[in-house]
């Protein structure tokens, strides 16, 4: 272990090691975080199945408005140096869309919020989250429950009767839905990973485009934060929208959109970091914030 890795707190080092094992064992969908909630089947039945995806009640609407205000404040705080490349691609979409992004931090939706605001969809940005996130506590727990979020669940009845209609209504109204096809958050992981097909399924079924994005991370010199990472500059890359093809079968259409999306992300990674995308693991290369990037 290098001196750089020794500067990480034990909990962060364990997460990095979990990522290493997942990469080496070829499991890009593995949960690597240490403190994620683990709801029981009874918790899911009690909280997720009746989840109000459309925020119908006055209290739900009030909490959603407060959560959006807090998220916008957080967005301003963590994106002072964030830049966006290719915003014209998002601006070219006139109606609703599904946004895909790499999942690397609890705040990784904030560059997407900036993009959404530029596109005049600030209040119409919705985010699909793992059902376990609804059980988080504190500020992030409040945001996960209320900030235009929609839990994805293994319960097929909930998915068909609650989640799908709510997402269809959002895109029909010209809104954006952010989905993380990589599924699990891998802290500060630079590489694009394999993707589930849910985002592409919804785009095909709803007849709306995918707006593919990829966030590049540049480690800067400076003071290490609580997790032991140096400051990181984020660069959001926005790619041309991928539209569904109704001449293809649903399965073929999903596969085509997923392939094109990954090709955009892979090309952006290789251009940003100047190296080919490989399936091995080097923490100093693959985890942002450990060691300053060379100029």
Strands of the chain (E only): list them. Answer: 83-85, 97-100, 125-130, 149-152, 176-179, 210-219, 232-238
Q: For residue range 18-66, what is the model confidence (pLDDT) as tens digits?
A: 999 999 999 999 999 998 899 999 999 999 999 999 999 999 999 999 9
pLDDT of residue 293: 77
Q: Which residues of the chain have pLDDT under 50?
A: 1-3, 295
- Phi then psi dihedrals of residue 218, to 5 deg: -115, 115
- Phi then psi dihedrals of residue 179, to 5 deg: -125, 135
Give just the sign of the alpha carbon dihedral 29, 175, 262, 204.
positive
pLDDT of residue 4: 67
Secondary structure letter of residue 35 according to DSSP: S
CATH of domain 3-286: 3.40.1130
> Residue ranges per domain, the chain?
3-286
pLDDT of residue 3: 47
pLDDT of residue 292: 80
To the question of pTM greater than 0.75 for the whole model, the response is: yes
Q: In angstroms, how far is the first alpha carbon of the chain from the final one? A: 24
CA 158 to chain centre: 22
What per-residue string of b and e applies to 168-207 under the rule 16 or more CB within 10 Å gives b? bebbeebbbbbbbbbbbbbbbbbbbbebbebbbbbbbebe
pLDDT of residue 291: 87
């Amino acid at each position: 272990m290098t001196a750089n890795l020794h500067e990480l707190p034990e909990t962060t080092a364990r997460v990095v090691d979990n990522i290493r094992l997942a990469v080496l064992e070829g499991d890009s969908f593995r949960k690597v975080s240490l403190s994620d909630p683990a709801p029981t089947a009874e918790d899911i039945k009690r909280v997720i199945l009746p989840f109000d995806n459309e925020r119908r009640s006055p209290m739900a609407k009030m909490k959603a408005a407060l959560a959006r205000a807090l998220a916008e404040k957080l967005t301003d705080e963590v994106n002072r140096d964030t830049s966006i490349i290719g915003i014209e691609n998002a601006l070219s979409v006139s109606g609703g869309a599904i946004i895909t992004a790499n999942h690397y931090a609890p705040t990784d939706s904030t560059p997407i919020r900036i993009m959404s605001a530029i596109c005049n969809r600030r209040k119409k940005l919705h985010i699909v989250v793992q059902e376990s996130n609804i059980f988080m506590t504190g500020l992030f727990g409040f945001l996960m429950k209320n900030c235009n979020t929609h839990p994805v669940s293994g319960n097929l009845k909930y998915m068909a009767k609650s989640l799908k209609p709510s997402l269809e209504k959002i895109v029909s109204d010209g809104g954006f839905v952010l989905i993380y096809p990589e599924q699990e958050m891998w802290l500060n992981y630079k590489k694009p990973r394999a993707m589930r097909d849910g985002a592409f399924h919804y785009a095909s079924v709803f007849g709306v485009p995918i707006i593919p994005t990829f966030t590049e991370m540049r480690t800067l010199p400076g003071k290490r934060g609580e997790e032991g990472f140096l400051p990181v500059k984020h660069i959001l890359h926005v790619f041309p929208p991928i539209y569904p093809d109704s001449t293809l079968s649903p399965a073929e259409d999903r596969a085509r959109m997923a392939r094109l999306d990954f090709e955009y992300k892979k090309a952006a990674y290789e251009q940003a970091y100047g190296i080919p995308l490989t399936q091995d693991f080097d923490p100093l290369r693959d985890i942002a914030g450990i060691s300053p990037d060379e100029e």
